[in-house]
Structure 1
Amino acid sequence: MTSSLIRGRPRRATARIRVRIARAVLGGLVGAGWLVFPVMTVGDRGPVPVDPAGPVASAAAAPHDGTSTTDLVMPLVALGAAGALAGYGYVRRTRRARTRTTPGMVSAAPPVPTSQETERQARAALVLADDCVRGSEEELGFVEELFGQEAVAPFAHALQAARTELSAAFAIWRRYEEGVPGDEGARRQALVGVIGRCAEAGRRLDAEAAALDRLRGLEQDAGAALEIAEGRFRGLTARTAAAQTTAEELHRRYAPAAGAPVTGYVEQAKDRLVFATSRLNEARQAADSGDGAAAARQLRAAEGAVAQAGVLVGGVERLSARLREAAALVPAALTGGEAEIAEARKGGGRTALTAGELNARLARADGVLAAVRSELTGGPYDPLDALRRIAGAVERLEAGRSGVVQAGALLVARSAVGGAEDFVAVHRGAVGAQARARLAQAGRALGSGADDEADALARQARELAEQDVRAHGNPYASAGGFTAGLAGAVLGGILLTEEPDGGPPTSFGGPSTRARHHLP
């Protein structure tokens, strides 16, 4: 909408131009009149008495042409004044046109976004790209189960390419958070690089979305896909009941901190399955009535819920297995840790510490191992935390670690990274860029063998993600009836909250295609 101020300017400018033109024309007419008037009056002189002139007068008299120099002076002055006024007005109009910045006269350059705005765009791009990758992975699992690995190879390749771009974007962002590069222009360029990498990740997924839909053919016949989803649903229903028993056993057998990472997971899995039940029923009804679009929409929502229920139940199962493995490894890790301490005390290690620093760290390591031994006989404890402390105490000696201590550190790192990954996957509707970036860095550290760093980063990522979830809230928290489980589906990013019923389900694809199963 054009403001009244902008609309008023052309009218005033037009009025002033008209006035100047009128003045110039009037001046020109006056000048022309002065020039023409003497010519018009030459032949109209009336008879006047003429005194007879003498011979001398007649001979000396000059012939008269009807005008004189004096007659031409005033018209020329008037014409010059009119021309000067017209020229002055033209010059003013030209200068004003060159400097004018009103819309429609000179197009202004687009404003350059501030550093804060570019950073906000980079954060949003990271979250969106990560959501697209995670959602695409969920659907591709169901497609592969039905059509086989060879049929989904092109889509798996696109997904891997998108992961690579996203990983590079997270790496650039992490360096940016650490203050690298330091130059302001280079930092802005780094953010542009993050946004570009995320856009490329989304583009790779968008390019394959239509082909995947053609392969699945859900709108023509969703029967086979429904059977796959319903089969997974039935298997998860039995696993969820077993996971409930497993979670209770964790609380009895270990310290409260040991089972804390999966607290509430069984309840959330049941919530996802309740949501999946309603959506599978609606998908079956739509398929039977020939409404292929509705069947595809409801089936994709059900598949997302089933996939996340599997993540939640699997998280309980994996934690239980890792705690058992850690508990079996703790005694051997204590022995290995004591051997490393004895070697460092004898000076056989390759440590670069001074004698005072080494003695202080040896004393601390002795204390850590003594505390762990006391916990073994003192009742329920956290085996993973015990391994973490043993590995950390030996690492501080800077003399290397034995094989069993290293194995313990690797188990701890894998457990931390896996737990953080599960949490972000089932709460991605609320988790921000910072937690995801820490998690991505933890994965890189784990792959490079930096177990302690991976463990620390994964725990940071989990803490940041939990903070995001607590701060997020949920407008669907009080939903009930036919929308049972809707709050969890929104929190998990299964639905995109773009429509009254919770929005379209997340599908394989990038930003342009992942919400394609929308309401007609």
Structure 2
Amino acid sequence: MVFWGKRKRAETEKQDAADKDLAVRAQTALVATDERIRTTLDELEFASAELGANATKDLRDGLDAVKQHMREAFELHQLNHDHIPDTPEELRTRNARIVQLCDWAENVLDERTEVLRERIEKIREAPSVREQTAREAERIAGLLPGAEQTIERLRHRYSAEALQRIGANPTEGHQLIEFARHSIDVARRRREAGRRDDALVALEAAIEAVRRAQRILDAVDDFEIEAIRAQNTLADVVADSRSDIAEARLERQTTGVTTAIAALEDALGALTPPGVSGDPFSELARVSELNAALDQAREHAQRHIPSLEHVSHDVDASDRAITSARSFIDSHRGAIGADARTRLAEAERIRIDAGTLVADEDTRERAQQLARRSASLAHEAMQIAQRDIDRARQDNWGGPGMGMGMGGGYGRRGGMGGGDMLGGLIGGAILGGLIGDIFD
């Protein structure tokens, strides 16, 4: 019996270790495949511009199929982290399926991109591409001071919490442009030395750095637009909330309704007054959440169908949250882990489902629930992504001072020190044997 007990414990420990390893593999594969999809989308844009839509149709179709199946992978990862307890067997099955889906996606993309690789490489070997990349880098460098001025202007209108997602963008943009300039110089020297493969790797790194710098610039411009939209949506949600409170006071009162009214009134009273810097994104999320809680409490007390106007406001709030989260994650892809990406993918999937149910009164209540759930997941994605960014900056740059730290070794995701925006770029440079030149 003692021998059997020891053997059983050993088998259990072995299975637990295997399950943990599978969970890590699933999460790592999810991040890698999602990043591969985004990188391939960039490649598709370049290839389409140079080779035409017909030549890139197979790659575009493959990407569409991969994105469709990856929704299942993100949904499975979300199920692994929801509030419902799971058995070890359920977790094991889901994680195995995630790994399977990611492997399939990588194989599809490998197959489709390999067909175009030679033609794309020949195009990129041309000196004109290198010079065009250099001109684009200088153009973006000239726009970065304007982005800094925009952020300084926005500091008078929005709180530090609201600006946290773009406050470091100009600094990161400058670093990306410097990286691009140096990589272009390496590409030129390697090409002159007859080492075309190394030159191509360096040029790829420069092109990706310029692309990311442009996204960082776009994020600054998009922030102001999205903030204005969030303020407008917030005004609508506040008006709806006050109307809901007035209606709720005339209906049958329950403890849940009374509590929900008090919480929503407190949130409305705590809103940033005009002329004071605030965070419209957080306030919109808070008021929308409490408004949803009041609606739910009223539904428990008295069943009713929400109006099309109410549901439309919830859908708009969901769209704003998803757009903000997507822009933020796209701007800092290298540091974003599986959890934030999963929340965003799930938010986008649920938002699509909500949009199909709004018009019909019989399904409008469900549409409202889905829209609110979508917005909540998008806000979670933003919060988790911000934590990932903060952790990456702390790990890779030695703290919030944002020093370059190029000699600090490898960061936590396998990239070199230097921050999340460079981690994804220089992997190819390492493989190409360029790291000594790029960081000499």
Does the pair score TM above 0.5?
yes
Determine which of 342, 345, 352 is the counterpart of 1:437: 342
Q: Does 1:305 align with 2:209?
A: yes
Alignment match, 1:465: 385
Q: Is the 8 A contact 1:387 1:408 kept in 2?
A: no
Q: Structure 1 residues 474, 141: CA separation in 2 closer, same or farther (over 3 Å shift)?
A: same
Q: Which moved more, 1:411-420 or 1:315-324?
A: 411-420
Alignment match, 1:495: 426
Alignment match, 1:383: 280
- After superposition, the CA RMSD in angstroms is 3.4
Residue identity (%) = 23
**CA distance in structure 2 between the aligned counterparts of 1:208 and 1:368, rounded to whole angstroms:** 52
**CA distance in structure 2 between the aligned counterparts of 1:155 and 1:274, rounded to whole angstroms:** 32
Alignment match, 1:365: 264
Alignment match, 2:405: 478
Alignment match, 1:147: 51
Shift of 1:274: 1.0
> Could you report, residue by residue, the CA deviation over 1:258-311 in whole angstroms, capped at 9, with x for unpaired residues?
212212011101111111112223334444665432332111101111111122
Determine which of 374, 387, 398 is the counterpart of 1:454: 374
Q: Is the 8 A contact 2:165 2:386 kept in 1?
A: no
Amino acid at match of 1:364: A
In the TM superposition, what are the counterparts of 1:64-103 in structure 2 within 5 Å? none
Q: Structure 1 residues 173, 167: CA separation in 2 closer, same or farther (over 3 Å shift)?
A: same
> Could you report, residue by residue, the CA deviation over 1:433-478 in whole angstroms, capped at 9, with x for unpaired residues?
3333223223223333333323332333333334444445238942
Amino acid at match of 2:40: S
Amino acid at match of 1:437: T
> Could you report, residue by residue, the CA deviation over 1:400-435 in whole angstroms, capped at 9, with x for unpaired residues?
766666555445434443443344445444433333
Q: Does 1:344 align with 2:248?
A: yes
Q: Is the 8 A contact 1:146 1:225 kept in 2?
A: no
Q: Is the 8 A contact 1:283 1:298 kept in 2?
A: yes
Q: Does 1:282 align with 2:186?
A: yes
Alignment match, 1:396: 293
**CA distance in structure 1 between the aligned counterparts of 2:344 and 2:40, rounded to whole angstroms:** 19
Q: Structure 1 residues 123, 502: CA separation in 2 closer, same or farther (over 3 Å shift)?
A: farther
Shift of 1:345: 2.9
**CA distance in structure 2 between the aligned counterparts of 1:504 and 1:153, rounded to whole angstroms:** 37
Determine which of 399, 417, 432 is the counterpart of 2:322: 417
Amino acid at match of 2:115: A
Q: Is the 8 A contact 2:333 2:420 kept in 1?
A: no
SS at match of 1:165: helix
Alignment match, 1:133: 37
Q: Which has the higher helix share?
A: 2
Alignment match, 1:327: 231
Amino acid at match of 1:479: M
Q: Does 1:191 align with 2:122?
A: no
Alignment match, 1:91: none
Provide structure 2 residue ranges, at least 5 long, that are not aligned to the other structure. Answer: 1-13, 299-304, 355-369, 398-402, 408-415
Determine which of 248, 251, 254 is the counterpart of 1:355: 254
> Could you report, residue by residue, the CA deviation over 1:325-370 in whole angstroms, capped at 9, with x for unpaired residues?
33345444433332233233333xxxxx853322332233333334
Amino acid at match of 1:140: L
**CA distance in structure 1 between the aligned counterparts of 2:32 and 2:225, rounded to whole angstroms:** 33
Alignment match, 2:82: 178
Amino acid at match of 2:405: S
User: Number of aligned pairs?
Assistant: 384
**CA distance in structure 1 between the aligned counterparts of 2:38 and 2:436, rounded to whole angstroms:** 18
**CA distance in structure 1 between the aligned counterparts of 2:98 and 2:424, rounded to whole angstroms:** 22
Determine which of 18, 24, 27 is the counterpart of 1:114: 18
Q: Is the 8 A contact 2:341 2:381 kept in 1?
A: yes
The structure with the largest alpha-carbon Rg is: 1
Q: Is the 8 A contact 2:236 2:313 kept in 1?
A: no
Amino acid at match of 2:353: S
Q: Which moved more, 1:161-170 or 1:416-425?
A: 416-425
Q: Is the 8 A contact 2:396 2:419 kept in 1?
A: no
**CA distance in structure 1 between the aligned counterparts of 2:168 and 2:419, rounded to whole angstroms:** 12
Provide structure 1 residue ranges, at least 5 long, that are not aligned to the other structure. Answer: 1-110, 348-352, 506-520
SS at match of 1:474: helix
Q: Is the 8 A contact 1:142 1:228 kept in 2?
A: no
Amino acid at match of 1:392: E
**CA distance in structure 1 between the aligned counterparts of 2:74 and 2:333, rounded to whole angstroms:** 16
> Could you report, residue by residue, the CA deviation over 1:206-254 in whole angstroms, capped at 9, with x for unpaired residues?
1022222122133784234335534543442343232212111111122
Q: Structure 1 residues 486, 215: CA separation in 2 closer, same or farther (over 3 Å shift)?
A: farther
